[in-house]
Structure 1
Amino acid sequence: MDYRLHRYRSACGRLDLAARDYPAREAGAPDLLLMHGLTRNSADFEPLAAHLAGRYRLIVPDQRGRGLSQWDPEPSQYRPDVYAQDMLALLDGLGVTRACLIGTSMGGLMAMVMNALRPELAAGFVFNDIGPVLDPAGLARIQGYVGAGRTMASWQEAAARCRAVNAAAFPDFGGADWLSFARRTCRENADGTVSFAYDPAISQGMDGDTPQTVPPDLWPLWDLLDAAPVLVVRGALSDLLSAGTVREMAQRHAGPFAAVEVPRVGHAPILDELPAVAAISAFLREQVPSSRT
């Protein structure tokens, strides 16, 4: 799964941002833009990339303040509408005019904002455990841990920390799973200690009863998806996206709509689970065709 590290400027022109660019084996293969969640980075999609790389071109960015992308000195800019503008700058710089947008959690919010800004862009949408209604319990849980940027002494301690925060979402994970989770979520510092791979200041957008990271009413953005093909992946244990919201999403959508629930997984599925991989593969094959002639 070789990829090229692509560097580009943020939409505001102030920040140096990074993205992984996995090439497709054949010309004309669809472009997929994979956007991670609030505290994650491009490594979050390594498990899904193992299934999709080569068949598609995968563009997997680190949002500002995450991974290899520069931290923003203005924390007020850590918002989905700002990230969406960065994504449009990324695609424009790569010459991509049409892509399937795959978003985990916050990445799904960004996909809806991008569609409102440029409705001709998306060939389809995959929403990973996110929708137009966010359960207050899930938001409160996220508020409880995001921004706790203490340094950890080792990768084993980092794995234990990831487990402490996410154990309810992945009850079947073992020690090796948590270590892999930590290596995708954290970074090793020059002195051998380990830190989460994001700017702790991203937590400022989660403060208060109405987090800045979440637009106040998402149904108008959802309705703008109109007839576009949509797949929703939901963790059966999710505390952020309810099954009832998924049903309403289906009822309000005019175009092709599919949903899959991943058993014994909460917020958010890794997307290497068999039901998720099968659903995403089928969706891309049927709804996001190649442009090869």
Structure 2
Amino acid sequence: MPAYENRYWTSADGLKLHYRYYSGDMMKAPLLCLPGLTRNARDYDALAARLAGSRQILAVNLRGRGGSEYARDPMTYVPATYVEDVQRLIAELELTRAIAVGTSLGGIVTMLLKAAGAPIVGAIINDVGPDIDPRGLSRIRSYVGRGSAFPTWMHAARAVQDTNADVYPDWGIEEWLAMAKRLYRLTSSGRIVLDYDLKIAEPFRVPGGEAGPDMWAALTSLSDVPVLVVRGGRSDVLSSETAERMLAALGQGELVTVPGVGHTPTLVEPMLQASVDRLLARADG
């Protein structure tokens, strides 16, 4: 894995928030990587490894995840607050351009950031859209916020496999172990637990808590920059119909569907690499 620095910034309500910083060519637009609802910056390890040194990479931990402080008020675990948090990071670093990579919730935040005027010059929207398939939404609501703990990494890996076998049907135990180590952390007592604040579920379970007010308008704000829409062929979150409608709404869009994968693609699948590289080159302009 390439070396990274642990860096921090402060939210408007005083939380210490964390991101992984990977150094790279400062003449190119940096990557701003935003993870999914229950995920963290470690989800972007493999992408950072593939692009190491080619540009700066900022892999963000949203509030309540990974190395970021947990919110005092769980009702701040909503997209509008995540957008405000990331805007403060952009302002603190004085970024004049960035390429956003948003997976699931991170894709929603990406759309809302651009609509709010963030200097997004390109985006990868990974397996999410303005309309979320009710099947996937129901599945996510069934597990988010439910705590679990394991005595060993192998126990955690087997549990992750049981939950996600339909998402990655071709994975072996090595992939499941790697995913477990992205999802969970080892506590001082030796237990392996989820690496997020379980209270993120509180606003998510409120109807509308999973997205912003008008996500199609937010998507349209990206119509002036290159966008790569990635969809898992087995996804129960982003339907093929919504993905096609997204492509029609984007002025410079490309859609790639990854067969045999559900929610979400890892973004380092071999068939995606040329499309990712093309998006980065177009965004650098």
| Aligned equivalent of 1:2 | 3
Cα separation, 2, equivalents of 1:266 and 1:171: 9
Match of 1:228 in 2: 225
Q: 1:252 and 1:279 mapped to 2: Cα distance?
A: 19
| 1:131 aligns with one of 129, 132, 143 | 129
Q: Is the 8 A contact 1:48 1:277 kept in 2?
A: no
Sequence identity percentage: 36
Q: Distance in 2 between matches of 1:87 and 1:185?
A: 22
Determine if the alignment matches structure 1 residue 280 to structure 2 residue 276.
yes
Q: Hey, what does 1:247 align to over in structure 2? A: 244
Q: Which of 231, 235, 240 is the matching residue for 1:238?
A: 235
Alignment check: 8 A CA contact 1:41 1:185 kept:
yes
Where do residues 115-194 of structure 1 align in structure 2 (5 Å cutoff)? 115-119=114-118, 121-194=119-192
Deviations 1:112-156 (A, max 9, x none): 11111115x011111000111100000000001111112211111
Distance 1:129 1:257 in 2: 14
CA distance in 1, matches of 2:261, 2:10: 36
Say if 1:187 and 1:195, in contact at 8 Å, map to a contact too.
Answer: yes
Measure the CA separation in 1 of the matches of 2:26 and 2:267.
Answer: 26
The within-5 A match list for 1:1-293 is: 1-10=2-11, 12-24=12-24, 26-119=25-118, 121-208=119-206, 210-253=207-250, 255-285=251-281, 287-289=282-284
Spell out structure 1 runs of 4+ moving beyond 4 A: none
The one-letter amino acid of 2:100's match is L
Partner deviation per Cα, 1:201-220 (whole Å, 9 max, x = no partner) = 00112214x24122244112
Deviation readout 1:53-108 (Å, 9 max, x if unpaired): 21011011110000010000200000111001111111211221210111000000
| 8 Å CA contact retained: 2:26, 2:55 | no
1:227-277, Cα deviation, whole Å (9 max, x unpaired): 221110110000000111111111122x21111111110000111211222
User: What is the DSSP-based 3-state SS (H/G/I as helix, E as strand, rest coil) of the residue aligned with 2:284?
Assistant: coil
Question: Does structure 2 conserve the Cα–Cα contact (< 8 Å) formed by 1:51 and 1:277?
Answer: no
Contact conserved, 1:145 with 1:165, CA < 8 A, in 2?
no
Distance 1:56 1:33 in 2: 11
Alpha-carbon distance in 2 for matches of 1:273, 1:170: 12
TM-score (norm 1): 0.94
Supply the RMSD in Å over aligned alpha carbons. Answer: 1.3
Asked whether the equivalents of residues 149 and 200 of structure 1 are also in contact (C-alpha less than 8 Å), the reply is yes
Distance between the aligned counterparts of 1:51 and 1:288, measured in 2? 18
Cα separation, 2, equivalents of 1:133 and 1:234: 13
Q: Number of aligned pairs?
A: 284
Which secondary structure does the structure 1 equivalent of 2:150 belong to?
Answer: coil
Which is further off, 62-71 or 268-277? Answer: 268-277
